[in-house]
Amino acid sequence: MDTLDRIIMLIKEHGITQQQFLKDVGLNKTALSDWKKGVNASYKKHINKIADYFNVSVDYLLGRENMTFTETEAQKKVSKLVEAFESLSEDNQDKVLEYIRFLKTLEDEKTK
């Protein structure tokens, strides 16, 4: 899989349109189609910006490594929290947020 294939795959995996990707990264509207046609390979000069956008390494985009990124323990916890939170009713989501604010207040008081 070459760099362009990886970029296109990441666009699909993130559930965004190609136009949104180009806009977010600050590239010309025709950049992706130009890359596909072989008109230019300007993605190479934007590789750092593209890697940062998708939270992957440049080595991954260039095909030097297979892993997109290693999720930290904190990221895993956040993912689980978001998943659980989204499964709750709106009323229960409000209760969770209220409880988080309460815990934050307790933490703040401990540090004073």
Q: Which of the four pLDDT bands, split at 50, 70 and 90, describes residue 72?
A: low
Q: Which CATH class is domain 3-61?
A: mainly alpha
**Does this model's pTM top 0.85?**
no
Check whether 48 has a pLDDT greater than 70. yes
**C-alpha radius of gyration, the chain, whole number:** 20
The whole-number pLDDT of residue 73 equals 66
**H helices of the chain, where?**
3-13, 18-25, 31-37, 47-54, 58-61, 73-86, 90-110
The whole-number pLDDT of residue 112 equals 73
Which tokens belong to 96?
A: 């969770």
The whole-number pLDDT of residue 38 equals 83
Domain boundaries, the chain: 3-61, 73-110
